[in-house]
Structure 1
């Protein structure tokens, strides 16, 4: 599932999956700005059928590791 999250994240930002790792953060990826972040969160909610709270969405803007961890928690919670 982690790889699927990374691939979707990269696809939505129109970058290579190789450009995304746990250290990736908004300042290191020009396409990941605040507006694109809202689109990312919305896209992930739709793709995986989960709801992300506003506070979680803010936390997810820290780095890809945090984004991925919150999504994994959401996916575990829906099972």
Structure 2
């Protein structure tokens, strides 16, 4: 897993350019990151990376 892949997934989930994905984007501090986008992001990460998050990690 590389940083470019993660940036691509974040950009797709939040419908922004990859250049706009920065370390400052964080849950509870980035307005577009609501609960629905959070679940979408988790789902996209799981699918793309072939992993499965535990419920405690998702929350």
TM-score by length of structure 2 reads 0.77
- Unaligned stretches of 5+ residues in structure 2: none
Q: Within 5 Å, give how 1:48-67 maps onto structure 2.
A: 48-58=49-59
The answer on whether the counterparts of 2:42 and 2:58 sit within 8 Å (CA) in structure 1 is yes
Long gaps (5+) in structure 1: 59-79
TM-score, reference length from structure 1: 0.62
Q: 1: distance between equivalents of 2:30 and 2:19?
A: 12
User: What RMSD in Å do the two structures reach over aligned CA positions?
Assistant: 1.5
**Take 1:7 and 1:47, find their aligned partners in 2: how far apart are those partners?**
10
The structure richer in helix per residue is: 1
How many matched pairs? 58
